[in-house]
Structure 1
Amino acid sequence: MALTLAGAPALAAPYAALVVDARSGQVLHERNADARLHPASLTKMMTLYIVFEAVEHGEISLDSLVTISRNASAEPPSKIGFREGSQVRLRHLIRAAAVKSANDAATALGEAISGSEEAFAARMNRTAKALGMTRTHFENMHGLTAEGHLSTARDMTTLGRHLFYDYPQYYNLFSRTSADVGVKTVPSTNRRFLTTYEGADGIKTGYTRASGSNLTASAHRGNKRIIATIFGGTSGPSRDAQMAELLDMGFRQAGNNVAVRPPSKPPYMGNSGLGASAPLVANNEFDEPGGAGKTIRVVGAPAKSIRPRPRPGMAFDPATSEAVEDVIAGILAAPDVAETDAATVAEAETTEPTESGETVEVATVADPAETLQPDPAMTPQTAPQEVAEAGVAAETPPIAQDDATPIINASLAAPEIAPVPPARPDDMILVSVESSGAAAPAAPELVTRMSTSGGRHWGINVGIYTTQYEAEKVLLRTALSELATLGEALRKVGKSRQGFNANFVGMTKESAELACRRLSVRDTSCTVIEAGAS
């Protein structure tokens, strides 16, 4: 991204650098790593991080049509040239921002997610704080120089590491040397380094006169992965040469057998607390293009706990419940092997780019063959805190709704607890212990799991994986992300010639189809199956 005429030399900018072992986060080299400097287009790393988060949580989909605003179309180069009022699919805007570093695409992405530049910048700053980027402040989503828009080499390296571990299914974007953005194929601003440094697979370049030539880069060799950031390079070629030296030093110093300790993914908060200018839910399949979602306003609160009373003789044990939750948390916290071989990275498109200086008409129909799908070698990760906020708003029938104001008012009242337990279902097996001799108090009844009869011989498949552990982990994550329809389903891993099938079983056909529809909104592949299918 440049603000000067082609060929104009960069002004002298302060130099800073940081090198870390991506597996553990260990710092291998640093120089002025905490100096607050202009990040330039490294800013787009945060823009894309939030877009990936929004897609994962159903705020918007990859095929949503985003209307280009006057503000977005008027951004200076680097840009694609999207015209005001044209509609572009989100996946093409993501490619344009990640590969071409297009300012008009970055602005359109921020406005699609949060409604305005100011609201999106507020979300960027809140996310930066959650990621531990303590010396970063954003004023815009593209990185053009603005007062107070500053970051550090340490914070940008932290962000690059989070991109790799938090959203591995999208990381292949940063390794592409060119990309189709819907109207043409554009070259990557980082293609020189990607094609000349062994093992390089990302991440992002940046340049303004105030910042100099910046670069956050990642490379892997064998079982090692190094991430480094440079601020203040005097030119693109000299910056790339400096980065090669830093990464070489990192590979020499990094240990061979280092435990992978991914950074903690921050909790999802969406656009909450960003003010009235932020849309509540961006385009999804339940909304018209460009329309906002619905707000659920909860009126009142339960007067007392709605936890059901325990059966006689079977008291609830809080300690046991907490232990179960700790076990689930431990399973989900297991480190993922997120490093991939270079062969798993998506192949770059080879079409020759066209000139980008002219204004172009944007096609409103995307090529269905062009998809921004997860890399098959990288398992999409679903955060355990995702509990289908967008899905609830879409699937729950409204209690009261005014056409002019799309708000659902749901009143929660304290439940009435019947003094007598309800009758047992016929298919529930009861085992009792009889005692001989004098009459004795009734023995406690042990209740087994209810059978899956009565039409519950359907299920869903959410993928085939190379190991049983991987399939079990995906099942657990998926169940936690879609409690509304999968809370009662049984998780089952079936072995086949292709691998380990991750299945949910014990469902009715209707509940299985509903679960698949809701998972599809989050771009999670799903197939309805009958009992007995592996």
Structure 2
Amino acid sequence: MRLVAATLGRILPATVTICFIAALLVTLPAAVRAASYSALVVDADTGRVLHAQDADEQRYPASLTKMMTLYMAFDALKDGRLKMNQSLPVSAHAAAQPYGIGLRAGQTITVRDAILAAITKSANNASVVLAEAMGGTESKFAAMMTKRARELGMTSTVFKNASGLPNRAQKSTARDMARLGIALIKDHKSYYTYFSTAEFEWKDAVFPNHNHILKRYEGADGIKTGYIAASGFNLVASAKRDGHRIVAVIFGGSSVKARDNRMVQLLDIGFSKVGDVPATVLAEKKGRDDTSFGLISSAEASTGHSAPRPARKPDAAEAAIGDWAVQLGAFRRPASAEKLLNKVRGKLPEAEPLVEPVEDGKTTLYRARMTGLSEADARTACQKLKREKVTCSVVSPDAG
């Protein structure tokens, strides 16, 4: 980088050189923003998993973290430790948080406004104000968040701050975030409606809700977006139609557009499958691993044993919606697959990248695939790539 700067400095004006280097620095991290993708779709009423991909792999939650901060604020409102119109002090630490609303140390903000700022603007400073009001310090509150997460069954989640700003130790999973989304809906029905707030006015500014699914998808009423460079574009969304509620989670979207497009597909998949099996009943907690949200089939309940579940191919509705893929190759090293996906991801912004390990005898190969496409989109995309001299093949949902 120093050599580039020195060379450019001899041939370009100083202002142009500075702008070029700044642009280069912004561009360089793009190659490592190919965050691992996870997804989960759950029937919020029964707990049945309708679609899953790497749902138990730990990822960076980014601002999905604020869902727990808000859950605990709602807890505090319910038991009287906080009041909606209560004025909270803004500390120097809170005011120093990047990406928030205009808060200065020594000011105050009401609990209601802090909640709305955290939901719509995803304001980090407002989240820390809430955290300090409940925990004294943000670090103490983060420990309280993790403890509360365990009580909700979020066994793979660790919180280190109230906002979701980068911290290597702060991790969660799609399954845990689905649990938290369902807990927000069921435990705090009266406060959950705040997640559907279209915009928030603060001072002379208006902040629209970051969650575009609220406008795009019929029945959508929450919940939260999230992004840091290490996580990619995350989203937990919920929608209710015909008496059924679906909660869906995405970690690692490649862009806002790709993430939102995939979320629409996942919600469609959920509603297409929500009523296609017999009713489920609550399982006994004793001795059971609660990986399926504590629910078993009625056949299991009558026998006390887990009934064998037949292998299931994706149904026609799911296949048409978005489980087709474009395969770009198979490699001995996962880094090679990631490199190829990074090369083509800009050409297919509507798709999600996937590195998939496959056993091949005694060795493991890593498939590079762009997933989440309809059949028509997958075929069109592959034709486009072939015209650009990129080898590819179209993969159907039941191809394995």
TM-score category, normalised to shorter length: 0.5 to 0.7
The residue number in structure 1 matching 2:110 is: 89
Equivalent of 2:186 in 160, 165, 175? 165
1:193 aligns to 2:208 (yes or no): no
Is residue 120 of structure 2 the alignment partner of residue 99 of structure 1? Answer: yes
Say yes or no: does 1:233 pair with 2:228. Answer: no
Q: Which residue of 1 aligns with 2:235?
A: 215
Distance 1:256 1:173, change over 3 A: farther
Residue equivalent to 1:155: 176
Does structure 2 retain, via aligned residues, the 8 Å contact 1:23–1:261? no
> Matched residue of 1:71: which SS?
helix
Distance in structure 2 (CA, Å) of the matches to 1:203 and 1:260: 25
- Any conservation in 2 of the 1:92–1:182 contact (CA below 8 Å)? no
Q: What secondary structure sits across from 1:171 in the alignment?
A: helix
With structure 2 as the length reference, what TM-score do the two structures score?
Answer: 0.61
Q: Determine the C-alpha separation between the residues in 1 that align with 2:279 and 2:188.
A: 20
Match runs of 1:48-87 below 5 Å: 48-77=70-99, 79-87=100-108
Q: 1:217 corresponds to which letter in structure 2?
A: A
Distance 1:261 1:115, change over 3 A: farther
Q: Deviations over 1:231-263 (max 9, x none)?
A: 000000100011111111110110189879899
Alpha-carbon shift at residue 179 of structure 1 (Å): 1.7
CA RMSD of aligned residues (A): 2.3
**Do the aligned partners of residues 30 and 189 (structure 1) sit closer, same or farther apart at CA in structure 2, a change above 3 Å counting?**
same
Residue 221 of structure 1, CA deviation: 1.1
Residue-by-residue CA offset, 1:5-39 (whole Å, 9 max, x unaligned): 79x95810000001000111111111110101100
- 1:19 paired to 2:41: yes
How much has 1:182 moved relative to structure 2? 5.2
For 2:174, the aligned partner's letter is A
SS at match of 1:36: coil
Identity %: 47
Query: By how many angstroms is 1:196 displaced?
Result: 1.2
Aligned length, in residue pairs: 258
CA distance in 2, matches of 1:100, 1:150: 22
1:181 Cα deviation from its structure 2 partner: 3.7
CA–CA separation in structure 1 for the residues paired with 2:282 and 2:162 = 26
- Give deviations 1:87-142, integer Å, cap 9, x for gaps: 11111000000111000000111001111011101110110000000000000000
Q: Look at both structures and tell me which one has the larger radius of gyration over its CA atoms.
A: 1
Provide closer, same or farther for how the CA distance between residues 262 and 220 of structure 1 changes in structure 2, counting only shifts above 3 A. farther
1:41 matched to 2:51: no
Q: Any idea what the Cα deviations from partners look like across 1:206-253, whole Å, max 9, x if unmatched?
A: 000000000000011111111010000000010001111111111011
State the alpha-carbon separation in 1 of the partners of residues 278 and 233 from structure 2.
32
Looking at structure 1, the residues matched to 270 and 217 of structure 2 have their Cα atoms a distance apart, in angstroms, of 14
Instruction: Give the residue type in structure 1 aligned to 2:228.
Output: T
**CA 1:65–1:260 in 2, change beyond 3 Å: closer, same or farther?**
farther
* Secondary structure in 2 matching 1:20: strand
Mapped contact 1:157–1:227 kept (Cα < 8 A): yes
Equivalent positions of 1:461-472 (< 5 A) are none
Structure 2: distance between partners of 1:105 and 1:5: 27
Q: Which residue of 2 aligns with 1:109?
A: 130
Q: Is the 8 A contact 1:23 1:262 kept in 2?
A: no
CA offsets per residue over residues 318-373 of structure 1, 9 Å max, x none?
xxxxxxxxxxxxxxxxxxxxxxxxxxxxxxxxxxxxxxxxxxxxxxxxxxxxxxxx
1:443 aligned partner: none
Provide the TM-score with structure 1 as the length reference.
0.46
Q: Which residue of 2 aligns with 1:144?
A: 165
Look up the SS of the partner of 1:19 in the other structure.
Answer: strand
User: Aligned AA for 1:11?
Assistant: R
**How much does 1:147 deviate?**
2.0
The answer for the alignment partner of 1:135 in structure 2 is 156
State how 1:482-493 maps to structure 2 within 5 Å: none
| Contact kept in structure 2, 1:213 and 1:234, CA below 8 Å | yes
